[in-house]
């Protein structure tokens, strides 16, 4: 396994692979890797095969954090990440620094961003207004640097994956986007680097996100009629906030293709939610 820190060096390798016909699978991450990330790596390897190359990027992208968010405290452990990548069969770990990705020189500051203007309006887009601009920008940059044939994202970030798919289509990136299933703990909590922030008591309460998704699914599937979203929203909010550390940011029911919110919920709809457990903000989603 090789660690690359330079954009120019990464681009040179990518051009060599493209010229030799070696398929490239790519997993972009912000590090502090866990079993969910490893599942994405395995999916990438499955798609490109033994003759292909699997690249994992580790970059805590500052442009997707608002000034009030946890950029400075976001968990980092590069040595552990490299060990996990080596064990998972990664070929290249790309670890650029901020100056590599966002050069800042007198008269030449970074000033170009990518904005998706339909799927990003609700949910995370409302709660974190600059977030998806940062995500789309860094993913576009990484695609231009790594030149992958396929890129693998996790379904836990359902809205993000949809936006990346749309950007890839609209801007004609020659990349196939794969969305892999969410990996969960035995109690249903979706694996996330931010789970590290939770105390033992908060960790137990965080299972409420998955319990709410399951409750929504059971309620809708047991009904012969569509259920008003406002009613279901209130019931799930009450369920979650019976936990003393939990506070709902949003619960949204929407069409998974258009991301339009739904007034009535029936089978085939999608639920997404964001919940503060203590000071930690967690997200999850699921098909109903």
pLDDT tens for each residue of 158-194: 999 999 999 999 999 999 999 999 999 999 999 999 9
pLDDT at 135: 98
The string of pLDDT tens digits covering residues 141-156 is 999 999 999 999 999 9
65: which residues sit within 8 A by CB, 6+ positions away? 71, 74, 131, 134
Phi, psi of 20 (to 5 degrees): -85, -5
pLDDT surpasses 70 at 107: no
Residues of the chain with CATH 3.40.50.620: 2-180
Percent of the chain with pLDDT over 70: 99
Question: Given the structure tokens 């939990």, which residue do they identify?
Answer: 246
Q: Which residues pair with 272 in a beta bridge?
A: 252, 285
Which residue of the set 34, 37, 131, 270 is catalytic?
A: 37
pLDDT digits (tens, 9 = 90+) for 243-264: 999 999 999 999 999 999 999 9
Q: Does domain 2-180 have CATH number 3.40.50.620?
A: yes
- The band of 105, judged by pLDDT with boundaries at 50, 70 and 90, is confident
Inform me whether the pLDDT recorded for 20 exceeds 90.
yes
For the cut 90, the answer to whether the pLDDT of residue 38 exceeds it is yes
pLDDT given for residue 104 in this prediction? 81
**173/180 Cα distance (integer angstroms):** 20
| Rounded percentage of the chain residues whose pLDDT exceeds 90 | 97
Weakest mean pLDDT among 16-25, 99-108, 154-163? 99-108
Q: What is the pLDDT of residues 206-241, one digit of tens each?
A: 999 999 999 999 999 999 999 999 999 999 999 999
pLDDT score of 232: 98
Question: What separation, in Å, do the N-terminal and C-terminal C-alpha atoms of the chain show?
Answer: 41
Whether the full predicted model's pTM is greater than 0.75, yes or no, is: yes
Start and end residues for every CATH 3.30.1300.10 domain found in the chain: 193-287
Q: What is the rounded average pLDDT of the residues 84-106?
A: 93
Whether 220 contacts 267, CB under 8 Å: yes
What is the CATH topology of the domain spanning 193-287?
A: 3.30.1300
Identify whether 37 is a catalytic site residue: yes
């Amino acid at each position: 396994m090789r660690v690359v820190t330079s954009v120019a060096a990464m681009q040179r390798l990518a051009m060599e692979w493209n010229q030799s016909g070696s398929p490239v699978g790519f997993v972009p991450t912000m590090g502090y890797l866990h079993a969910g990330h490893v599942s994405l790596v395995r999916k990438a390897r499955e798609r490109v095969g033994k003759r292909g190359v699997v690249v994992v990027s580790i970059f805590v992208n500052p442009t997707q954090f608002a000034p009030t968010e946890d950029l400075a405290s976001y968990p980092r452990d590069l040595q552990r990440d490299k060990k996990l990548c080596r064990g998972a069969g990664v070929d290249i770990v790309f670890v650029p620094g901020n100056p590599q990705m966002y050069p800042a020189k007198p008269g030449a500051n970074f000033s170009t961003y990518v904005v998706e203007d339909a799927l990003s309006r609700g949910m995370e887009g409302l709660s974190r207004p600059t977030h998806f601009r940062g995500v789309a920008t860094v993913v576009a940059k990484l695609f231009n640097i790594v030149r992958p044939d396929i890129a693998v994202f996790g379904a836990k970030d359902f809205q993000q994956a949809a936006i990346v798919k749309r950007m890839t289509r609209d801007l004609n990136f020659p990349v196939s986007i794969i969305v892999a299933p969410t990996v969960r703990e035995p109690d249903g909590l979706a694996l996330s680097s931010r789970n590290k922030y939770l105390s033992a008591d908060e960790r137990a309460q965080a299972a409420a996100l998955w319990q709410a998704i399951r409750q929504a699914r059971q309620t809708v599937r047991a009904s012969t009629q569509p259920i008003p979203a406002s009613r279901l929203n209130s019931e799930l909010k009450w369920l979650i906030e019976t936990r003393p550390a939990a506070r709902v940011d949003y619960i949204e029911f929407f069409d998974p293709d258009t991301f339009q919110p739904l007034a009535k919920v029936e089978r085939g709809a999608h639920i997404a939610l964001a919940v503060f457990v203590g000071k930690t903000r967690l997200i999850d989603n699921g098909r109903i």
